[in-house]
Structure 1
Amino acid sequence: VYAPPISYPTAGTTWQVGGSYNITWDASNPPKQITNPIGHIDLLKNNVIITGAPLANGFSILDGTHEITVPLTVEPGSGYTVVLFGDSGDISPEFTI
C-alpha cells in the first residue's frame, strides 16, 4: 500500500476562499506495484468530507503535487484538512480557510 505523506498544507496554513494552491506530497520511493495510481483529493472539515465535487481527481499520485482551487461555497474557519486518495489515503494537518 502506497500512502505518500502530504507536505503541504501544513499546520498553521491559511487559505483564502477562491484561492489556488498546490497540494504537495512526498512521491519518492513508491513501491514497484501500486494498486491505484490515480489520485483524488477531498476537503474535510472536522474530519467530515465536504459534500460536492472533490478538490481534484484523475491525476497521478506519483506527480507529488496538484493545483486546486478552494470552492467559493466553502465557509471560512479552522479545522480543515485535505485527504489524498490513490492506492491508499493520507491526511494533512489541520489548517484554516
Structure 2
Amino acid sequence: MTTKLTTILIFCFTLFIALVSAAPVRRDVWDPRIITPNAETIWLTGQTYNVTWETDDAPVNITNKIGRVVLGKDGIQNQAVLASNFSITLGSIEITVPDDLEPGFDYNIVLFGDSGNSSPQFAIL
C-alpha cells in the first residue's frame, strides 16, 4: 500500500512541476521614448555622442532586452548600425557618428530591442 501511495505522490509532484514549468511567462513589449538626439540636436561626423532613452517605465519582463541603435535618413532605416548587443535597460549608449555621411537635417535614430522606435529628425553636419 505504501508503494502505491508513494508512486501516486511522485506522479502528482512530477505532473505539478511539468505544469508549472509549461506555464507561459507574461512578456511585455516596451517602447521607450528616445530623449537624445532630439529635434534641436546637431551632431558632427566623426564625433562621439550618447543616445539616451527613458527607462523609468520599463516592465519587469521585457520581450527582448538586447538593443541595437541604427541611424536613419529621410525616413529610411539602416544607414548605419551605430551600436548593438547592449541591454536596453541601460538608458543610454555611446556611439560614434560615421565620417562618410552627407550633411543633412533629416537624420533620426531608431532604437531596436523590444520594439523599434524613432527619434525626431535632427542634423548631422
**TM-score normalised to the size of structure 1?**
0.94
Matched, 1:35 2:63: yes
Question: For this pair of structures, how many residues does the alignment match?
Answer: 96
Deviation at 1:76, TM superposition (A): 1.1
Deviation at 1:51, TM superposition (A): 3.9
Higher helix share: 2
**TM-score normalised to the size of structure 2?**
0.74
Structure 1 stretches lacking a partner, 5+ long: none
Letter of the structure 1 residue corresponding to residue 121 of structure 2: E
Who is 1:92 aligned against?
119
In 2: Cα distance, 1:49 partner to 1:10 partner: 17
Structure 2 stretches lacking a partner, 5+ long: 1-28
Q: Between Structure 1 and Structure 2, whose CA radius of gyration is higher?
A: 2
Identity rate of aligned residues, in percent? Answer: 48
* CA offset digits 1:27-83 (Å, max 9, x no partner): 11211211110000000001102445x100011000000000001111111100000
Matched, 1:56 2:56: no
Who is 2:107 aligned against?
80
Structure 1 residue runs of 4+, over 2 Å off?
A: none
In 2: Cα distance, 1:21 partner to 1:51 partner: 17
Matched, 1:66 2:105: no
Who is 1:47 aligned against?
75
